[in-house]
Chain A
Amino acid sequence: MKLPHPRGPLSATLDDVLYAQPGSGARLAEAARLALESASDVVTDDDVQLSLYVMYELAYRGFDDVPPDWEWDPDLLHARALVEHSFEQELRRRVEVPRGIAPDRASVAAALFAMTAPTPGPSVARFVAKRASRRQLEEFLVLRSIYQLKEADPHTWTIPRLTGRPKAALVEIQADEYGGGVADRMHCALFAQTMRGAGLDAEYGTYVDQIPAVTLAGTNLMSLFGLHRRLRGATAGHLAAFEMTSSLPNRLYGDGFRRHGFDAATTLYFDEHVEADAVHEQIAGRELAGELAQQEPELCGDILFGAAACLYLDDLVGEHTLSAWAADVSALRVGP
């Protein structure tokens, strides 16, 4: 993919240095400090979240014409650590985590299911099912594409950091995410098929300039958890919460696309997730997160934090999307 357009001084500095040779990024840390100081909210700041996204993306697919060695450049990692620290601290300050949960399999699974219990009221899924226009369905896919075209990848980083049953559970889920060995059935490939069915470009990274900061933050959260062994508990909790809030909404997403006459190939992604995530949520809640809490009780707090942070950012993205659509304006980012 191409490097995204800068959204402020830090992402502009990144754009400048990344085309040069690694080792020339001494300015990055200072630029990161200034960006963090001037951001009124690091979670939704365009310059901060885009910069973090760019720094993380070096560890996934990289960028056209950017030397791959930037991934492990000490100056870049220094700047990234400053942004990560600020992002994580802000989330830990803000996110409410259930207290007094015993670090055993049943208690942790029950706590996660309670945190993610279906709620009535407005949601993106209900809006998509009943009301979204064709243009809003396209926006919905564009917003989701920033994660869904690399679906499962951030959690996969955690596999070598686990042992025993939690590891086997994560591998079992991820193998299914990756199509059980069939490339066309990989969830990221099914999402690409849905995008093409809706007339969109399914090339990785095409729409990044249109993705608002809050949506980038949701993807950055997964990379933050996945790339730090310290946060393996948070990855487990995040994945559990993600899977537990997936089956029922995906049926509604599919309904919305069927309402507009899209064919079965285009809705397959959603239909697949109704079935798959009803399996995954059980494995993630009990055998991944629950077992991990039992195996490493000191991770119990992070497991719950990872779940709560996932739900918090999902809610922020949902509020952003619904308020834009209620005002009949685009939920995508416009302008430079």
Chain B
Amino acid sequence: MTSDAVPQRATIVACPDGPILVRGDVAIVDDDGVPIPRRRSTVALCRCGASAIKPYCDGTHKAIDFRAP
């Protein structure tokens, strides 16, 4: 999704034993504040640490049987 999409109130959902779903107008930036490309309006952030496309989720949590704390 492009950055000029109509802002909506942001929501963050911690999926059980899965990623963190982010919807709405949230800037995702790296440690230096540089924006990380966001290609869709709803994104899933890695929570297990094993994704090959961090900060986004690639489903690897299922392969390593990740259990969220």
Task: Assess the A278–B57 pair: CB atoms within 8 A.
Answer: yes
In angstroms, Cα B64 to Cα A118, docked, is: 9
Cβ contacts A152-180/B at 8 Å (1 or 0 each): 00000000000000000000100110001
Report the bound CA distance from A130 to B40 in whole Å: 30
Whether B56 and A278, one on each chain, are in contact in the complex, defined by CB atoms closer than 8 angstroms, is yes
Q: For the complex, give the distance between the alpha carbons of A247 and B42 in Å.
A: 16
A279, B53: Cα distance in complex, Å: 13
With contacts A180-B41, A282-B44 taken as known, whether A248 is within 8 angstroms of B57 at the C-beta atoms is: no
Q: Which residues of A contact B (CB under 8 A)?
A: 106, 109, 113, 117-118, 172, 175-176, 180, 182, 185, 246-248, 251, 272, 274-279, 281-283, 286
Is A247's CB under 8 angstroms from B1's CB? no
A313: min CB distance to chain B, Å: 21
Q: How big is the B interface, by class?
A: 20 to 34
Min C-beta distance of A248 to chain B, whole Å: 5
* CA–CA, A275 and B56, complex, Å: 7
- Other A-B contacts than A106-B16, A279-B21, 6 sampled, CB-CB below 8 A, are A185-B39, A247-B57, A274-B53, A278-B58, A282-B13, A282-B44
Determine if B12 is an interface residue (Cβ-Cβ < 8 Å): no
Select B59's contact among A175, A278, A286, beta carbons within 8 Å: A278
Q: Is there an interface contact between B58 and A279, defined as CB atoms closer than 8 Å?
A: no
- Chain A residue at minimum C-beta to C-beta distance from B57: A278
Q: Mark B33-66, 1 if CB is under 8 A from A, else 0.
A: 0000001111110000000110011111011000
| Top-10 shortest CB links A-B | A247-B59, A278-B57, A279-B44, A278-B59, A180-B1, A274-B58, A282-B15, A118-B63, A278-B44, A248-B59
**Subset of 27 A-B contacts with CB under 8 Å:** A106-B16, A113-B62, A172-B41, A172-B42, A180-B1, A180-B2, A247-B57, A248-B58, A248-B60, A248-B62, A251-B52, A274-B52, A274-B53, A274-B59, A275-B57, A276-B40, A277-B59, A278-B19, A278-B44, A278-B56, A278-B59, A279-B42, A279-B57, A282-B13, A282-B19, A282-B21, A283-B21
Q: In the complex, which residue of chain A has the Cβ closest to the Cβ of B61?
A: A278
Q: Which residue of B lies closest to A274 (CB)?
A: B58
- Residues from chain B with a CB closer than 8 A to the CB of A275 are 39-40, 44, 53, 56-58
Q: Which residue of A lies closest to B18 (CB)?
A: A282
B42 to chain A, nearest CB (A): 6
Assembled-state Cα–Cα distance A128/B40 (Å): 28
Residues of B within 8 A of A247 (CB): 57-59
**Complex: A165 Cα to B47 Cα, angstroms:** 25
Closest to A245 in B: B59
Among B16, B18, B42, B43: residue with most chain A CB under 10 A: B42
Across-interface contacts of A272 in B (CB, < 8 A):
39
Task: Indicate whether A248 sits within 8 Å of B19 (C-beta atoms), given known contacts A274-B58, A279-B44.
Answer: no
* A113 to B61 Cα, complex, angstroms: 12
> Taking the nearest CB of chain B, how far is it from the CB of A8, in angstroms?
40
- CB-contact partner of A251 in B18, B41, B58, under 8 A: B58
Can you name the residue of chain B whose Cβ is closest to the Cβ of A246? B59
Least CB distance from B41 to A in Å reads 6
